Amino acid sequence: MRVKRKAVDMAEGDMTPMIDMTFQLIAFFMVLINFAQTEANDHVVLPNSKLVKPPEAPLVFPIVLHVAADGRVYLGGDDYTAETLRIGLDRELAVIRGEGKSPGDANVVIRGHKDCAAGEIQEVVRVCQDSKLVNFALRVKEDRS
């Protein structure tokens, strides 16, 4: 028997709904992405508090110190101990003085790990006080429960 060959049409699925969905997903992630996570540090898990609220205005001249569970202090990509922190602080203070401000205008943000020894935080505060820094912000996670 002779079979007639039919010309095969290329089956084309309608891509429109998929592209719509994909664009919606991209829009969703773009809106929610937070580029301000530069302050975060993987070594630090903050303790919780019900009283704190996110600040309405950013702190002026912030010096962010991350204190890990083992007591190491991270400042601007370098890690220090409480004894060597002075070197890093002097560098930050030089920048602040270069802008015509004094150490009293700076804000030290202490991001301490919840399990680090409280004495390590006290040591960090003491070193900062020795560098004439007076404004401290103990950063904690907002507890909404």
Partner 1 sequence: MKIRNPPTGEKSELNMTSMIDIVFLLLIFFVMTFKIVEMEGDFSVKMPLAGSSNSTIDPTELPLKLRLRADDNGTLAGMELNDIQMGNGPEAFDKLRGTIIGQIGSSAPVPEEAGEGPEVEIDTDFNLRYEYVIRAITAVSGYKDGDQVVKLIERIKFAKPRR
Q: For residues 16 and 19, what is the distance between their CA atoms, to the nearest angstrom?
A: 5
Which among 3-11, 83-91, 93-101, 118-126 is the span making contact with partner 1, rule CB under 8 A? 118-126
Using CA atoms, how far residue 116 sits from 40, 70, 73, 83, 145, in Å, is 16, 6, 11, 16, 24
CB of 48 to partner 1, least distance (A): 8
Q: Is 28 helix (H, G, I), strand (E, B) or coil?
A: helix
Decide: 67 and 44 in contact? Cβ < 8 Å: yes
Chain residues 20-79 in contact with partner 1, contact rule CB under 8 A:
22-23, 25-26, 29-30, 32-34, 37, 46-55, 59, 67
142 contributes a contact to partner 1 by CB under 8 A: yes
Tokens of 127: 């070193």
Nearer to partner 1, 86 or 125 (CB): 125
Q: How far is CA 62 from the centre of its chain?
A: 13
Q: How far is CA 61 from the centre of its chain?
A: 16
102 contributes a contact to partner 1 by CB under 8 A: no
Q: For residues 117 and 72, what is the distance between their CA atoms, to the nearest angstrom?
A: 11
Which among 3-11, 72-80, 85-93, 134-142 is the span making contact with partner 1, rule CB under 8 A? 134-142
Note the residues at the interface with partner 1 (CB under 8 A).
15, 19, 22-23, 25-26, 29-30, 32-34, 37, 46-55, 59, 67, 109, 112-123, 125-126, 129-130, 132, 134-142, 144
